[in-house]
Every structure is written in structure tokens, then in C-alpha cells.
Amino acid sequence: MFTGSMVAIVTPFKNGSIDEGALRKLIDRQIENGTSVIVPCGTTGESATLTHQEHDRVIAITIEQVNKRVKVLAGAGSNATHEAVRLNKAAQKLGADGTLHITPYYNKPTQEGLYQHFKAVAASADIPVVLYNVPGRTAVNMLPETVARLSKIDAIVGIKEASGSLEQMKKIIEMCPKKFEILSGEDALTLDMMKLGACGAISVTANVVPKECAQQDRLVREGKIAEAESLHQKLLPLHQAMFFETNPIPVKAALAMMGLISEEYRLPLVPMGAVNRERLKKVLEGLGII
């Protein structure tokens, strides 16, 4: 359902508002270069600082611009279950193919709380749901046992796993049905995760090099592991550069250097520091991106 090279797309701003023209161009660029799923309103899309109206608008723009050429997996997570339910219903109404739901952040629910949260979300609309586990940003780790419980709910079709633990991913694969989709949430680990059984990645790096990310995915599927390894090593400095500072600061800085967006963030995010900006520039230059 949601497989291949997917992009957690940025939300470009201009003068404090969504830059609709730039977003539409970014979407076209992704599709033209082999991206299989567009994921708006994730962490990389600065969902935390979008108003509900803006959140819905970004998803609507994405669905309209994609025009069924690829799938749209709309970010709809929240640390308040009632809000996640609202976002889930809105995404269905707008026409998304599925929704991506991060584990509730800051309030640190128990494993039972996580189960009940996602169970309520899944029951709220007739749309496929993908879980998202990223303890480095949420302060809660959804354990494989909880994922396995949730995988029995028909509407919950997969997980974006970004715990940084290949062992945890292996346990999820072992404990969940074969049809349950495991997606990499960390570009630097995508190749290793796919070799273990992941069926794709929701990528930050794909914002910058969609063609190369799609190529790596294709090489793995074709069994050309040595070629995929070579490409992975080439892209590794870029994967690392995307986290010189808090995501999405580096990726937006990179896209601005490439002339694709205006470099604009919303507080509390601020532009990159001079030292890290120069480091990022050297990586992009080294890869011939700028």
C-alpha cells in the first residue's frame, strides 16, 4: 500500500504564509524523480507550528497537485487523541490515501495508553493508518509488543520506525503479520532496514535528492545490493548533514541553496548557524548538488 521511496516533504513559507507555488513545484519534482508517496504535514513539514486550517490546506494542496499520480500519506498525529481523531477525519474527507500518526509526545503515555490512542484513531475514520515511532523526538518508545497488538487492527497497516534500533525493527517484523508494512524513518539506516525486510522509507534526504533515493530503493528490490551499498555510501554524508541541526532546518537550508524555496522557518525554529551552514554547503558541493 505504502512502499518505495517516500518523501516527508517540507512546507515552504514566504512572508509568514504557506508558499503554495513552491510547494506545488516541490511535489512535481518529487514525482518526476521517482518518489512513490508524498507525505505532507509530518515533522519535516513543520506540522507543530501549522494552524489546523493551514494543516488542512497543505494536505489539500498536496492531494490536488499529486492528482492521483502517486499516493498521499497525510501527517495527522497529535499528542491529544481527540485532535488526532479530528485530523484523521479531515484527511479522509480531503481525499488522502492514508494518514501517518506519531506517538503522542511530551505527555509520555504508557504502552496501554499508546494502544488506546491508536485504537481510537483507527476507529475514527475509514482510512489506512500508519504508526510513527520516533522516541528521540517524543520521549516515548512504542515497543514491538504494542506494535504487534496494533497490527491486528485492520485499519492500521504499517509503521514508520525511527527508534534507531535494528533489533527493535527485527522484533516488529517477527511479531507482526507479513502484510504489515515496516518503513524506515532514518535515512542512514534505510538500506540496513530494507535488507532486513522493510518495504520502503519515509525520507528527509529525498527532499534534496529524490532521484537517488528512488534509485537506491529500486536497486535493493532488484537484488543489486552491492550497487545499493555504493550509492548509500555516497549519500551518507548528506544523510548526516540533514541532522547537523534540528530537522527540518538543514533540509530547508539545502533546498534554499538549490534555489527551490525561500529559507523561512517558524519560531522556535531559526536559520542554521554559520558554522553548520558552511558544513552543509560543502556536503552539497561535494555531491554536485549546488
In angstroms and rounded to an integer, the radius of gyration of the C-alpha atoms of the chain is: 18
Q: Concatenated DSSP letters for 187-246?
A: GGGHHHHHHHT--EEEESGGGT-HHHHHHHHHHHHTT-HHHHHHHHHHHHHHHHHTTSSS
Residue with cell 505532507: 40
- The yes-or-no answer on residue 265 being catalytic is no
Which residue among the candidates 115, 160, 252, 265 is catalytic per the annotation? 160
Burial state string for 64-90 with b = 16 or more CB within 10 A and e = fewer than 16? ebbeeebbbbbbbbbbebeebbbbbbb
Looking at the chain, list the stretches that DSSP marks H as alpha helix, in order from N- to C-terminal side.
20-32, 52-66, 81-94, 111-123, 135-138, 144-150, 166-175, 190-196, 210-221, 225-241, 249-257, 274-286
Known active-site residue 106: no
- Out of 115, 132, 252, 265, the active site residue is 132
Q: Which residues are catalytic?
A: 132, 160
